[in-house]
Amino acid sequence: MKVAIIGGGFFGFHIAREIVRKDRHATVHIYERNNEVLCEAAYKNQCRLHLGFHYPRSGYTIYQSVLGYDRYVHEYGECIEDIPNNLYAVHKDGFVTAEQYLAVMDSFSLDYEVVKDYAHYFRDPQDITVTVRVKEKCINPRKIVAKLKAENRAKVLYQTSVDRIDSTEGKLYRGTELLGQYDAIVNATYTNPNLGLSREKRFNVKWELCMLVVCQANLPKGTAITIMDGGFGSLYPAYEGLYTASSVQYTPFLSFHSVEQALEAYRGREELAKSLNPAAKVVEHVQSMMNVELTPVEPWVVFKAKLADGKGDTRITEVRSEGCLYSVFCGKLDAAFSASDRIVAEII
């Protein structure tokens, strides 16, 4: 069995790991366009190990996280950190009321505690209709990258951008150059899930260029604050006491509706981030909602792919197949198991 995985991110490495686990004789090649792996969304994300509290409007997103959470903890437990005081606060101007929010979480039997002692974290505490403390954890991005690299058994082909997939013949191309022929191909590029799919199979994708700001914050250790559900923001632990600051209004600072536009912006992403300076807006917005002092340490500029018709803020993971190609639309990190289960079951 010879398998090509396009994209050296979390999904690509995780799927490679699961394939080799099932068939230790499998030859797996990971194609990565950069000269480094696990440096895009796999590393630069909000570091939430989701349980569902962030998605009150998308039951299927919650469902996938509920299914994947324990497996993620089992598989990657040493990369996960507890957040003893992980707060989700529902804003009165959000898309859901406090009653609706709690009803959705109850419908998935999610465990939470309503808390009343944290009004001092909010600039306008009267706008917060309910605050719950939850048991979601944080994925330390440095640890997960180190673990995946150390345990990887696939061969990584760096600086090799795949431009074309022939799903009937199992062939990959860069320009006109044939890169290889495989029994199965997995598209785990995150930002280009339609590569190789025929028109009727394609995902309806939109792209956002995003800014997360890694910050120091004067919060007690083990605290996270997320204001829900609409144009608000969050402070979530990342690594070594630092937080990611994100703002629903300013974190996505450019959006695109074609892959060509997105790829062009990808090449100039650092310059775009410097000239538009969304980092300052993200920090200002978070500080306008929360009583915290933030000191920016590092801007994370990263592309996000979303379903363009994703009603209810859906962030699901879905696999579509054609010939020997399996194309993954990547959602939450703990939903990677739903993709790997299907791919492994079908190809081995």
Ligand X SMILES: Cc1cc2nc3c(=O)[nH]c(=O)nc-3n(C[C@H](O)[C@H](O)[C@H](O)COP(=O)(O)OP(=O)(O)OC[C@H]3O[C@@H](n4cnc5c(N)ncnc54)[C@H](O)[C@@H]3O)c2cc1C
Q: Does 141 bind ligand X (CB under 6 A)?
A: no
- Name 329's bridge partners: 318
Contact status: 55 vs ligand X (CB under 6 A): no
**Residue of the chain from 4, 5, 29, 32 that contacts ligand X (CB under 6 A):** 32
37 vs 130 by CB, closer to ligand X: 37
> Which tokens go with 175?
């320009």
- Residue 71 Cβ vs ligand X, minimum distance, rounded to whole Å: 13
Mapping DSSP to helix (H, G, I), strand (E, B) and coil, where does residue 164 land?
strand
User: Which of 47, 128 has the CB closer to ligand X?
Assistant: 47
In angstroms, rounded to a whole number, what is the distance separating the alpha carbons of residues 208 and 150?
Answer: 31
Per DSSP, 237 falls in state: E
Instruction: Residue 246: name the closest of 279, 282, 202 by CA.
Output: 282
Q: Is position 319 an interface residue for ligand X (rule: CB under 6 A)?
A: no
Q: Which of residues 142-181 bind ligand X (CB under 6 A)?
A: 161-162
Among 330, 339, 343, 347, binds ligand X (CB under 6 A): 330
- Kindly state the smallest distance separating residue 40's Cβ from ligand X, in Å: 3
User: What letter would DSSP give residue 276?
Assistant: H
Closer CB to ligand X, 12 or 94, in the complex: 12
Tell me the one-letter amino acid at 232.
F
Structure tokens at 255: 């959006």
| CA–CA dist 294, 73 (Å, integer) | 30
What is the H or E stretch that residue 132 is in?
Answer: strand 128-134
Residue nearest ligand X, Cβ-based: 9
**CA dist., res. 182 & res. 195, Å (int):** 16
User: Is residue 185 a contact residue for ligand X (CB under 6 A)?
Assistant: no
Name which position in 83, 209, 224, 333 contacts ligand X (CB under 6 A). Answer: 333
249 binds ligand X, rule: CB under 6 A: no
Q: Which residue has the tokens 């431009």?
A: 163
How near is the Cβ of 76 to ligand X at its closest, in Å?
A: 12
42 binds ligand X (CB under 6 A): yes
- Vertex 205: Cα angle to 214 and 100 (nearest 5): 70
What distance in Å separates the CA atoms of residue 328 and residue 331, rounded to the nearest whole number?
A: 9
Binding mask 186-225 toward ligand X (x if CB under 6 A, else -) reads: --xxxxx-----------------x-x-------------
* 306 lies in the binding site for ligand X (CB under 6 A): no
Which of 125, 329, 136 is CA-nearest to residue 236? 136
Residue 36 or 124 with smaller CB distance to ligand X: 36
List of residues contacting ligand X (CB under 6 A): 6-12, 31-34, 40-42, 45-48, 50, 161-162, 188-192, 210, 212, 302, 304, 330-333
